[in-house]
């Protein structure tokens, strides 16, 4: 005899059977002929039991429909586990449920098409999910089972995979977590990939501290999650986990990027700046275009606003309730650093923004630096080992005066405390001086101006030589290091070598391959050899890095150096009148290889391939392409004298834009403005006596410069 108070069936498979059994008049569970009961009371209890069971069955049916709706119509939303599948081992994180039976995108049932979810708003509901102990009981994977375990190294071994990413610290603002992050083991791998592939050459985070924050026992604050979002958006390009489809990768990238941007717009702080710098790596590694420039302008403005350009000694502090709402807030928005790591990380943060500004500006050639050199009053960062060990050290002291280049210098009196990033900052400052030097117009027909130009040129050349001599002896043979240890600890030295090549080509190409010449200013044999030697050096080191499978460890600045080297070979062929060096094909192939991680390298490879193909197919010579680029740049540089002057539009083909991309970087020296506009609104070039343009008959294209009559006098 069944108990009248028995609980209704709780499985989806049985719920329909229970309903149908009652409706068909099956056993009621009550004997109407029992001596202690009555027919009326028995019927009443039978009716109540039937109603109760029917309601429970209806709820179960509705619950199942909700699950089906979520699985079919909201694949990117969180998957809710019903009691019917509670016995399956699963991982619940940030609102996702991952079936332990096999890998698939979280929240997506097998056989369900993956739809592209819409980016979540900043003010979405709070995060969903259980804590770490619950995850462990549900069969969360251990570190040893994580797909990225073979990549783990350094300070990560003492930490467990993220288990409390859903928790929110007291007083912090909740953010949506339904589809914010990938599964926890993938997050762990992504953070590890950031330190292997990005932090080596953008060293603003300490590995041990960061892993302790993300995967330690304490819950994450809002700013911690924003930093994690930036890391996810930047390092998804390196992830090889097949569980994430292309659509899911795009979704996670879009959501993380959106959250970082919104938070950075609404919060000006050190923490927001760190996240924005990491996101800038993603943007500048995709394309060197307006979006990246806008992001850089925000970073530079934040550096000024947070007063990160100077070595501050006094910080103002106020009570939380007394924070001003006027301009004086700038003086209290940044608190005193609470440790050496925090102080050094701020210094590194400022230097990274400085470096990104330099690389982006040099690539465009026509822009001015957003972060002026004379405002950069930071000592050099220390080596990463000392930074990570939290050891306060001195690297150098600032000068109190300024030199003729207009920037505040520093005196390195503790070279033993310097690392690769320190030397990278040094060589970028030299590149900055080279860029400013080349932007100043010079009359190449004036002996006095050319003498001053030559002296400044020699000074910068000497600065590069002195910097090279200052490198530690153990890093003078980078190629040997690459073969002996291809790990990421030397990837930053590869980046350093590429920065030196950029500096050499930037300076010497102006004297080796000038676009305008006079009887004084002709191509220099010395400068030409310096350029070709630098390109060959970069080719050799790139070959070593490629053979050591280390090209995923270098970033967009390395690709930019490859782009410069490849273009130099084309400019050399255009000037001397010879076939382009076969090394050009090597650089194109390497750029395409790096392009699988950084799309900007793919853009470089495609442009180079099109230009080389047009020349090899006889469509146009390199010399003609360079002349076309020179004329177009001069044409677009012409301006109106009054608002009544006519304007005109000039149609260009993709091939002409390719010419500008390849040759404009070498459109030096700059001469005083000689343009004027005729009555038809067309720009013309006024020819000074004794001055000829690139591509004209008088430039002696097709002849190498004579080393015995080098006007530089080396």
pLDDT in tens, 642-669: 888 888 888 889 999 999 999 999 999 8
Residue 74: φ, ψ to 5°: -135, 60
Checking if the pLDDT of 544 tops 90, the result is no
pLDDT in tens, 578-606: 999 999 999 999 999 999 999 999 999 99
pLDDT at 295: 95
pLDDT in tens, 18-57: 333 333 333 333 343 343 444 555 555 555 555 555 656 6
Checking if the pLDDT of 100 tops 90, the result is no
Confidence class for position 59, pLDDT limits 50, 70, 90: low
pLDDT at 680: 45
Confidence class for position 537, pLDDT limits 50, 70, 90: very high
pLDDT at 51: 57
Counting residues of the chain whose pLDDT is more than 70, the rounded percentage is 64
pLDDT in tens, 103-122: 333 333 333 333 333 333 32
In 3D, which of 95, 282, 103 has the Cα closest to residue 177? 95
Counting residues of the chain whose pLDDT is more than 90, the rounded percentage is 47
pLDDT at 586: 97
The mean pLDDT value for 95-99 works out to 33
The more confident residue out of 481 and 252 is 252
Checking if the pLDDT of 212 tops 80, the result is yes
Token couple for 601: 């390298």
pLDDT in tens, 64-78: 554 554 444 433 333
pLDDT at 636: 86
The residues near 202 (Cβ < 8 Å, ≥ 6 apart) are: 277, 278, 281, 352, 555
Please give the model's pTM, rounded to 2 decimal places. Answer: 0.73
Pairing, β 675-677 against β 516-517: unpaired
Confidence class for position 449, pLDDT limits 50, 70, 90: very high
Helix axes 654-663 and 556-576, enclosed angle (nearest 10): 100
pLDDT at 83: 32
DSSP letter assigned to residue 704: P
Tell the burial category of 91 from Cβ atoms under 10 Å away from its Cβ (0-12, 13-18, 19+).
Answer: buried
CB distance 551 to 594 below 8 Å:
yes
Checking if the pLDDT of 427 tops 70, the result is yes
Checking if the pLDDT of 705 tops 80, the result is no
The mean pLDDT value for 456-470 works out to 93
pLDDT at 575: 92
In 3D, which of 149, 298, 145, 165 has the Cα closest to residue 229? 165
Token couple for 610: 């099109």
Confidence class for position 177, pLDDT limits 50, 70, 90: very low
Checking if the pLDDT of 225 tops 70, the result is yes
Token couple for 315: 């910080």
Helix axes 583-594 and 556-576, enclosed angle (nearest 10): 160
CB distance 174 to 119 below 8 Å:
no
In 3D, which of 507, 442, 457 has the Cα closest to residue 669? 442
Q: How far is CA 409 from CA 307, 393, 399, 406, in A?
A: 18, 19, 6, 9
Give 147-186 as a 3 state SS string.
CCHHHCCHHHCCCCCCCCCCCECCCCCCCCCCCCCCCHHH
Checking if the pLDDT of 487 tops 80, the result is no
pLDDT at 714: 63
- Cis upstream peptide for 667 (omega within 30°): no
677: three-class secondary structure by DSSP:
strand
pLDDT averaged over the chain?
75
pLDDT in tens, 262-295: 999 998 899 999 999 999 999 999 988 899 999 9
Checking if the pLDDT of 465 tops 70, the result is yes
- 473 CB neighbour count, 10 Å cutoff: 6
CA dist., res. 18 & res. 53, Å (int): 8
pLDDT at 85: 30
CB distance 432 to 358 below 8 Å:
yes
pLDDT at 624: 94
pLDDT in tens, 314-367: 777 766 666 666 666 666 677 788 888 999 999 999 999 999 999 999 998 778
Checking if the pLDDT of 558 tops 90, the result is yes
Checking if the pLDDT of 158 tops 90, the result is no
Confidence class for position 671, pLDDT limits 50, 70, 90: confident
């Amino acid at each position: 005899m069944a108990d009248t108070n028995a609980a209704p069936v709780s499985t989806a498979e049985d719920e329909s059977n229970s309903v149908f059994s009652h409706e068909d008049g099956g056993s009621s569970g009550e004997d109407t002929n029992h001596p202690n009961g009555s027919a009326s009371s028995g019927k009443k209890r039978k009716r109540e039991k039937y109603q109760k069971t029917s309601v429970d069955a209806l709820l179960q049916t509705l619950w199942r429909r909700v699950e089906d709706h979520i699985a079919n119509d909201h694949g990117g939303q969180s998957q809710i586990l019903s009691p019917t599948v509670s016995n399956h081992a699963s991982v619940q994180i940030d609102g996702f449920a991952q079936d332990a039976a096999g890998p698939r995108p979280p929240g997506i049932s097998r056989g369900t098409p993956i739809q592209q979810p819409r980016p979540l708003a900043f003010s979405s509901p709070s995060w969903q999910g259980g804590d770490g102990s619950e995850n462990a009981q549900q069969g969360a994977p251990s570190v040893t089972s994580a797909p990225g375990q073979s990549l783990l190294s350094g300070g990560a071994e003492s930490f467990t995979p993220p288990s409390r990413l859903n928790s929110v610290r007291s007083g912090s603002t909740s953010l949506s977590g339904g589809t914010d992050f990938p599964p926890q083991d993938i997050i762990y791998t992504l953070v590890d990939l950031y330190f292997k592939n990005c932090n080596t050459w953008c060293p603003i985070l300490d590995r041990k501290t960061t892993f302790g924050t993300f995967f330690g026992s304490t819950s994450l604050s809002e700013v911690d999650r924003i930093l994690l979002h930036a890391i996810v958006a930047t390092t998804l390009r390196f992830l090889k986990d097949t569980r994430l489809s292309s659509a899911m990768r795009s979704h996670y990238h879009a959501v993380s990027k959106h959250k970082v941007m919104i938070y950075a717009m609404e919060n000006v702080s050190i923490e927001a700046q760190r996240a924005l710098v990491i996101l800038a790596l993603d943007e500048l590694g995709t394309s060197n275009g307006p979006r990246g420039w806008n992001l850089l302008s925000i970073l530079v403005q934040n550096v000024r606003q947070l007063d990160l350009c100077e070595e501050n000694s006094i910080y103002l502090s106020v009570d939380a309730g007394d924070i001003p709402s006027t301009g004086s807030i700038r003086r209290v928005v940044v608190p005193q650093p609470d440790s050496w790591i925090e102080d050094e990380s701020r210094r590194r943060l400022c230097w990274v923004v400085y470096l990104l500004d330099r690389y982006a500006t040099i690539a465009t050639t026509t822009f001015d630096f957003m972060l002026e050199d004379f405002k950069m009053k930071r000592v050099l960062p220390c080596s990463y080992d000392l930074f990570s060990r939290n050891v306060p050290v001195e690297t150098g002291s600032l000068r109190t005066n300024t030199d003729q280049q207009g920037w505040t210098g520093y005196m390195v009196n503790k070279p033993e405390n310097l690392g690769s990033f320190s030397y990278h900052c040094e060589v970028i400052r030299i590149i900055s001086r080279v860029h400013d030097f080349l932007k100043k117009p010079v009359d190449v027909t004036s002996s006095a101006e050319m003498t001053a130009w030559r002296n400044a040129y020699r000074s910068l050349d000497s600065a590069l030589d002195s910097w090279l001599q200052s490198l530690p002896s153990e890093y003078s043979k980078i190629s040997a290091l690459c073969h002996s240890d291809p790990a990421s600890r030397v990837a930053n030295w590869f980046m350093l070598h590429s920065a030196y090549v950029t500096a050499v080509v930037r300076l010497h190409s102006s004297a080796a391959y000038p676009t305008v010449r006079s009887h004084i200013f002709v191509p220099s044999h010395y400068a030409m050899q310096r350029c070709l030697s630098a390109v060959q050096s970069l080719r050799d080191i790139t070959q070593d890095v490629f053979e050591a499978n280390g090209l995923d460890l270098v970033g967009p600045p390395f690709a930019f150096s490859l782009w410069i080297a490849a273009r130099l070979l084309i400019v050399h062929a255009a000037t001397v009148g010879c076939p382009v060096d076969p090394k050009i094909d090597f650089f194109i192939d390497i750029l395409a290889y790096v392009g699988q991680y950084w799309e900007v390298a793919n853009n470089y490879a495609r442009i180079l391939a099109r230009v080389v193909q047009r020349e090899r197919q006889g469509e146009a010579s390199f010399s003609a392409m360079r002349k076309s680029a020179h004329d177009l740049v001069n044409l677009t540089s012409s301006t109106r004298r009054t608002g009544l002057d006519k304007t005109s539009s000039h149609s260009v083909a993709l091939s002409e834009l390719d010419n500008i991309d390849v040759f404009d970087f070498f459109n030096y020296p700059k001469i005083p403005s000689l343009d004027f506009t005729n009555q038809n609104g067309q720009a013309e070039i006024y020819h000074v006596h004794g001055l000829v343009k690139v591509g004209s008959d008088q430039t002696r294209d097709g002849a190498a410069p004579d080393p015995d009559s080098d006007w530089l006098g080396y």
